[in-house]
Amino acid sequence: MTNEYRKLPTGASVVQNLPWRWNVQGKIFLIGGLGFMFDAWDVTLNGALIPLVSEEWGLERSTAALLSTANLIGMAVGAFAWGTIADRIGRKNAFAWTLLIFSVFTVAGALSPSFELFVLFRFLAGIGLGGCIPVDYALVGEFTPAKARGRVLTAMDGWWPIGAALAFFVTAVIQSTFDNWRLILVVMVLPALLVFWVRRGVPESPMYLIRQGQSARAAKVIDDLVARTGAAETPYTLPDPRDAPRLSAGSVGEQLAKVWRYDWKITTAAWSLFFSVLLVYYLALTWMPTILADAGMSQIRAFFSTAGMAGVGLLGVVVSALLVERVGRKWLLGVSGPLAAIILIITSFALGNPSAAVIWLLVFGFVIQIAIPVLYAYVSELYPTDLRGSGFGWASTFSRVGAGVGPLVFAAAWPVIGLANSFLIAAVLVIASVLWMSRFAPETRGRVLH
């Protein structure tokens, strides 16, 4: 091998230094983002469904919370399962099938004759949809130029407040017009099936193909990207298929061990940040309609107010995207995460004045959506290509388990220690996670993925 050959850029670096084009990388961003939107829609819908199914089947609050728990635990299973599957069969295949599985079991849930079956189908739908976030972030991140990756991955979370707001908005409209919660599920499935069809045309990640040693396919994808973006053609190197690391079909336990062996301090930071920051948000999404109704609001107004909390988050995502490359991942997450948790505590004290409570709720929705996009972008950059899907997926899994158990614990603790103290516990967890991150996790701004 000559010195000149050694100096050639790698195929991975060529992809990550291409110019950004909306009809190339932007198309993948839009398709991946729509899947992310349905994840938000489905998770948020738990908060809307709890009071509605409680009324139909005469459920206690703690029993109704099983609905959210089952769905989020299903997403936890799906997050690590699909993240690991994507590292083995490719981003494209996993990318397409997650939404189809979600759609089938969501329709089954809409036809459920009992609460027990409904909980089961929500769990199975969660398994399908739980794979969207790790698979989508891995695929979009690996197609995005390094200099724009932070902004693009942060902007991905702009789909979340859209989906969350749609969940409560559609619920409020359907309930005020038809008073039929089953129709809410059917409405969500129709666009999800359309996105599944569109996803079939997304190319496989060249970085994944390189790691798999499929040099011919990787070169074809890279050459096509260069041509479509209008970049200058340049020679590049690809690993020899015999030397390229291959992903084994090992057990889930082996993948988990690899994630921790890579760097246990980084993995601890990723898991704790995912758990604590998303716990705060999921508690608000799950219980805010019930909290506002208990404070004296009508059910429909409570749905619209929570939709406002979710929708204003889009502004937070914009601010996050503008700041993430200037401020850096760690600083932005370290400030916005704890601040959002504190604002939620303030909201609980303002419930005596519903108008003031809604204002604080909107502020919370804005700030938490500064934190969450940075969190997703940051964790997706902490691992190398062969661990990115499973590393992100396991962190997402841990957060889903916490968010699934959280509503049950919250329902039990709320009447005993009070609403503010319940939110305070979540805030302490966020602060502890941020302190660990500041000490043991690296800044990833501008880093080229490998």
Bridge partner list, 10? 237
Sorted by where each starts, the structural domains of the chain and their CATH numbers stand as 9-440 (1.20.1250.20)
Spell out the per-residue pLDDT of the chain, length 450, in tens. Answer: 444 445 788 777 888 889 999 999 998 898 888 878 888 898 899 999 999 999 999 998 888 889 988 998 888 788 767 767 777 777 677 767 788 888 899 999 999 999 999 999 999 999 988 777 767 777 787 788 888 877 787 778 788 899 999 999 999 999 999 999 999 999 988 888 877 777 777 787 776 787 777 888 889 989 999 999 999 888 888 866 555 444 343 456 777 888 899 999 999 999 999 999 999 999 999 999 999 998 999 999 999 999 999 999 999 999 998 898 889 899 999 999 999 999 999 999 999 998 899 999 999 999 999 999 899 889 988 988 778 777 887 887 788 777 788 878 888 888 899 999 999 999 999 999 999 999 999 998 877 666
Buried b (16+ CB within 10 A) or exposed e, 147-157: ebbbbbbbbbb
Cα atoms in the 13 Å half-sphere on the side-chain side of 55: 10
117 touches 428 (CB < 8 A) = no
User: How many CB atoms within 10 Å of residue 10?
Assistant: 17
d(CA 277, CA 361): 16
d(CA 135, CA 80): 10
In the block, residue with structure tokens 């499973």: 390
In the block, residue with structure tokens 């010195």: 3
3-state class of 10 per DSSP? strand
d(CA 366, CA 318): 10
214 φ, ψ to 5°? -90, 75
362 touches 309 (CB < 8 A) = yes
User: Measured between alpha carbons, how far is residue 331 from residues 337, 371, 378 in Å?
Assistant: 10, 10, 11
Residues 6+ apart with CB under 8 A from 60: 54
Q: pTM of the entire structure?
A: 0.81
d(CA 166, CA 218): 38
